[in-house]
Amino acid sequence: MKMSAMKLKKTLIYLFLAVFTFVQIFPFYWLVTFSFKSNTEIFDSNNLVGLPKVWHFGNYSKALMGGEILRYLLNSVFYAAVTVVVSTLLASMVAYAINRMYWKAKGIVAAIFSLGIMIPVQATLLPLFQGLDRLGIRGGYLGLMLPYITFAMPMTVMILSGFFKALPREIEEAACIDGCNIFNMFFRIILPMIRPGIATSCIFAFLNTWNELLFANTFVDSSQYKTLPVGIMSFVGEHSTNWGIIGAGMVIATLPTVVIYLLLSKQVQESFTVGAVKG
């Protein structure tokens, strides 16, 4: 009786996991099949989720070569890479100073970064637009990178703070006794120990930058500096729209996020336990 109950419980768990996996994977499957269809098939009610009757591989070549998607893709890669590297480096220093050092204003600084998470991005749109315009950097690479880095830092500081708190003080004391200065200790000892936290914060910063549309659509006028979400949106025509090409553009935009997660998934899984252990 006990064995049958355990078997039933195990079966229900696997069933739940199977349904959950299907729910998570199905949108990506639908997007991929969507990208190979023509408008006629897309709006065919008898084949909404089925495979294309005719595979339109030309949707991808039109998305990459017909418009400027390739340029937008490279711009998004550049924005995301710079944002991830700079925000993670700066935020790790801030988080370390807040959680591992003793100084008078650290509570105020921590509160300021906490407020950065609470303030809606939409509320800062007009002040940022005016500020960037007066500085003469609106419309270029710097005009987008500065807001991206600024808004990525509060979340990164919050994520890394939990990892810094979990580190024992004896590590720093031993490093100081051995003659290690603050910078060598931080870069050679402390940062390697919080790799799972860095991987987690990098994924958050990358996703937020990669998928961002509001700033990119507002602060940038020239197609030379536009990002991939803005480029995909430009495929929507005034009178007609080729939805298959838009689907191809969305698949192209999705693949880098999948690759980044697969590369850092092991570190992210470790962060679920490492960051939660204290002492």
Answer yes or no: do 94 and 35 share one domain: no
pTM: 0.81
Alpha carbon distance 250, 262 (integer Å): 19
Q: Which residues, in sequence order, are CB contacts of 232 under 8 Å at separation 6+?
A: 69, 72, 246, 249, 250, 253
Answer yes or no: do 111 and 34 share one domain: no
Total domains present in the chain:
2
Alpha carbon distance 265, 260 (integer Å): 8
Answer yes or no: do 39 and 81 share one domain: no
Residue 78 counted as domain residue? yes
Residue 259 counted as domain residue? yes
Q: Is the pLDDT of residue 229 over 50?
A: yes
Q: For residue 65, what is the DSSP state?
A: I
Answer yes or no: do 127 and 25 share one domain: no
Helix (H, G, I), strand (E, B), or coil: what is residue 67? coil
Answer yes or no: do 139 and 268 share one domain: yes
Answer yes or no: do 130 and 160 share one domain: yes
Residue 53 counted as domain residue? no
Q: Amino acid identity, residue 119?
A: I
The helix or strand, by DSSP H or E, that contains position 9, with its residue range, turns out to be helix 2-35
pLDDT tens, 146-196?
Answer: 999 999 999 999 989 888 888 888 888 888 888 888 888 888 888 888 888
| Percentage of residues of the chain with pLDDT beyond 70 | 92
Answer yes or no: do 34 and 85 share one domain: no
Q: Look up the domain containing 33 and give its range.
A: 2-47
Nearest to 209, CA basis, from 251, 246, 257: 257
Q: Is the pLDDT of residue 51 over 90?
A: no
Residue 279 counted as domain residue? no
Tokens of 112: 């300021």
Residue 58 counted as domain residue? no
Answer yes or no: do 243 and 127 share one domain: yes
Find the CATH number of the domain harbouring 197.
1.10.3720.10
Residue 111 counted as domain residue? yes
- Helices 69-100 + 141-166 axis angle, to 10: 40
- The 3-class SS string of 151-195 reads HHHHHHHHHHHHHHHHCCHHHHHHHHHCCCCHHHHHHHHHHHHCH
Alpha carbon distance 110, 69 (integer Å): 40
Answer yes or no: do 121 and 181 share one domain: yes
Answer yes or no: do 27 and 89 share one domain: no
Nearest to 62, CA basis, from 239, 245, 255: 245
Residue 52 counted as domain residue? no
pLDDT tens, 94-111?
Answer: 999 998 888 888 888 888
Residue 54 counted as domain residue? no
Largest pairwise CA distance in the chain: 76
